[in-house]
Amino acid sequence: MRREDVAARLLLALDSHDDLALASVLDPDIRMLVDSGDATGGERRGRAVVARVLVNRLAMLPDASLRAVHVNGRPGIAATRRDGEVVAVLGIETGWRGGITALWLSTAPDKLTGWNRPGSH
């Protein structure tokens, strides 16, 4: 998988609610850091755990749409409400085979300030 295609493939898997498609883009030993700004954050490891946490976290944002973006020079996904407010940003790291080896999910409002400035992203 090409690095620039990884966000599109992850988006497709998330949009289709296809567990097999989601598993196919995640490395078996994937790790995800959740920066929620509260006690629900932390690190998660393993394909099944990360997939479940990712799907559950995004389900908490039912009024947000997902789009591919660049996060610190890497592929990523932003969850944006209809009013344009970014409520989550997911950074993606890929391995040499193209699978997703790490995810960084930020839902902490203070960490998303830069994404919500006029003229940003």
pTM of the shown model = 0.89
Q: 67: part of which helix (H) or strand (E)? A: strand 64-71
What are the tokens at 98? Answer: 């193209």
Q: What is the DSSP-derived secondary structure letter of residue 95?
A: -
21-25, 46-50, 71-75, 104-108: which range is least confident on average? 21-25
Round to whole Å and give the CA distance between 118 and 65: 19
Residue 4: pLDDT band by 50, 70, 90 thresholds?
A: low
Round to whole Å and give the CA distance between 101 and 97: 10
pLDDT at residue 20, rounded to an integer: 81
The number of helix segments (H) and strand segments (E) in the chain equals: 3, 6
Residue 119: pLDDT band by 50, 70, 90 thresholds?
A: low
Residue 18 has pLDDT above 80, yes or no: no
Residue 39 has pLDDT above 60, yes or no: yes
What are the tokens at 34? Answer: 């959740």
Residue 91: pLDDT band by 50, 70, 90 thresholds?
A: very high
Report which of 7, 49, 55 is spatially closest to residue 29, judged by C-alpha positions.
49
